[in-house]
Chains A and B, each alone.
Chain A
Amino acid sequence: MIDIVMPQMGESIVEGTLTKWLKKQGEHVERDEPLFEISTDKVDTEIPSPAAGVLSEVLVAEGKTVAISTVVGKIDEGAGNGAAAKPAAAAVPIVAAPVPAAAPVATPAPASKPAAEIDQPEGPLSPLVRKMAREYNIDLKQVKGTGAGGRITKQDLESYMSAQGARTMAQATPPPAAVPSPAPVAAPVQPKAPAPASAPAAAHRARVEPMSTMRQSIAKHMIISQQTSAHVTTVHRVDMTKVAKMRDKHKAEFQKQNGFSLTFLPFVTRAAVEAIRAFPILNASIQDTNILYHQDINIGIAVALENGLIVPVIREADGMNVTGLQRAIVDLSGRARSRQLRPDEVQGGTFSITNFGSFGSVFATPMINQPQVAILGVGMVEKIPVVVDDAIAIRSQCYLALTFDHRLIDGALADQFTAKAKQVLENWSEEL
């Protein structure tokens, strides 16, 4: 049962008048289909249904004015035609815009507390030595001083730490070799540990900095993805010459008309949508022992931020042409960078695309954005010599790298999918 609530249509708006139910009680409604109309001021607004199912209860009659967030009716998803369940909310990859003011709780500030627990030896200590002892949590009683009058010097601390490091290396945690994840796998410095567990090299010169909320969220999500999916990547080389020509031809005009430039990304997105249509399992999720085929194609686009990454979602991307997709990409990435995305704009993705080519990467092996089952990585488009009909020609080429979840998708299918996207791009026939 899903609650239908009176939405807030603006900052200053506290109530709305329900002017018309567009569906009757007991009637079936699709998700996003207009369900009722509200009126505030001189504005009438159609409100789309939050879910697919049957309008089982109408709690607010036409003409009644109620406060925002009031439940106006209920939708019974179970009574729908199976299109119901969507793990949208569960799919939150990274929540937008962590407030920088919020102090991260995880790593205690190294400056204060541990210092009190360290027994100080007799005699004077230089501020530098005190600071180092605090930062690396060293019990100074264990350190032999070689300075004037047995004073502990910086060199004493360093040799003590490397000796400790050498001793603890043997029983230290195994190196994270098996995990080629970009996420920071190694544990951060732990001030509580009795002996400095960190490797000697790190002990020499390191700065402790707490991870931002977003960084922690990315780290957690990457590891969950690594542990959930059986990641395999397949790479196809794609001839982008036709798309490049199309883009060159329309570039200036497009910029003039729309106020933003035309990139390769919407072409690839469009091709991915076509490939998803041909192979819908790439747009699925795994739920226990069931396969959840999502009916909407909602494409997440990875956006690099100054200190992190976020994946806003182009909803119902299959309804858009290249211009519409480019518009959505510019809008979402712009607002991602200015931290103006709403939480629901990073939820509900069913497939993702990451454009590492814009940073010069030729190909990479992206990580799946859970609970999706595939992600398409787009390498840099560059002119290179290739053999065409036994002659060497200069063509625009790029690599498409598809990482797929081998639990659900076999290699042959993944290659068919990628080949379909390749075929769309190489034989580009659509208008912008």
Chain B
Amino acid sequence: MAQTVAAPGMATPGISRRFASVVGELWKDKAGFFGLIVMSSLILVALAAPLLAPHDPAAQSLSDRLVPPFWLEGGSLDHPLGTDNLGRDVLSRIIFGSRVSLIVGLGVVLIAGTVGTVLGLLAGYNGGRVDTVIMRWLDTQLAFPGLLLYLVILSVVRPSLLVLIVILPINAWMVYALLVRGVVLSAKETPYVEAAEIVGARPRRIIFRHILPNLAAPLLTLAVLEFASAILAEAALSFLGLGIQPPAMSWGLDVAIGREYVFNAWWLVTFPGLAIALTVLGANLFASWLRIVADPHEREKRFAAGLGSTGGRGA
């Protein structure tokens, strides 16, 4: 009996040990674990919003206006986080608002990441004139007043979810290009890439087989951080009235609505903002865990120091 149980484990020691070590490492790093929980709950909540929300997030009820959260006098578990100025359920709106955050975050990361990675690869691998042109462009654009240019665009184009996903990458691609170019430049100097070039591998093969794997870990980490930045940018623009437009739902928009009632209904600004902050914090913690776990040098440092991860965004 004991033998048959042990057998499968013996057959794949590498995989199971690896899996166990990843889980073990995540568990050891409470902050990273928290980040993972937050990120996965965001996805779950966004997907299952209609099942989780206690009310229709758009349903108005004039008799239930500005009901406080359930632990305050006048509140009830029917509306656990209270209601807004039109009697809409705050919790349900937060649950549905997660969808906009998730879509904007993913969309912007996908577009900006693709554009930035391609341009960074071109600049780093080709060097020469291509590199000069891309880097000059980047240097010039880095000095642009980013948010103000969004405002110029949004003053002539009617803002919407799609417009946000299209315009946010205009500034967001630059970090990817800088990162990718840097990694490519250093990878190009490594003996194995030189060896591949000497034996006559084509550029495409060198890029995909030898250089891109180096990029996986830093790109993934950056993508998680930029996911958080995109959520923050969407929230800020929606708060200013230049992002998601009612009746669509967004956390930033709900904070803007709550702002009018800041004197008598503090919960209206507090909870949607808390949702943003929690999501962003989760993404930041997850990213700093990812950065350390995915980078052999960092792992070594950490092992030597014998500490928990307390990294975070340097820049």
A binds B: no
A-binding residues in B (CB < 8 A) = none
